């Protein structure tokens, strides 16, 4: 049977979490993250 897996559309979702710059990254004046 022929079909394609499809990506679930994300239009209504908040595109980028506020202040997000990746895991382990910190925001303002936070503690120094440990690795």
Partner 1 sequence: MEGYIISKSNLYKDMLYVYSRKHGKIMMFPENCKDDRNISNILDHKFNEIYENRFISNVNNNMSLITIIVSNTCNMSCRYCYEENGTFGNEEKILSPEMAIKIVDFIVKKYDFIDTISFFGGEPLLAIDAIECICKAFKGKYEKKLINREPKYTIVTNGTILNSKVLQILKKYNIQVCVSVDGFKEIHNKYRVYRDNGVTYDDIYSNMVILNKYNLLKSIQCTYYKSYINNNISYIDIEKYYLKNFGLKKFIFNDIYVDFDYVENSIKNEKIDTLDKKQLEGNSLESRLRTFVNFGTIDMDLYTMLIRMIKMKDSKYVCGAALNEIAINLDGNIYPCRTFVSENYKGKYCMGNILMFDENKYNNICNDISRLNYRHDKCRYCNELNFCNRCLAISLLNAKHLNGKIKCETRNDEFNGEFYMILKDKINLTKLVERLITSN
CB of 9 to partner 1, least distance (A): 7
- CB crowding 1-18: b at 16 or more within 10 Å, else e: eeeeeeeeeeeeeeeeee
Residues found near partner 1 in the complex (CB under 8 A): 1, 3-10, 12-14, 16-35
CB of 30 to partner 1, least distance (A): 5
Write the CB contacts of 32 (distance below 8 Å, at least 6 apart in sequence). 26
């Amino acid at each position: 049977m022929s079909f394609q897996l499809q990506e679930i559309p994300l239009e209504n979702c908040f595109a980028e979490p506020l202040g997000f710059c990746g895991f382990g990254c910190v925001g303002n004046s936070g503690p120094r993250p440990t690795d």
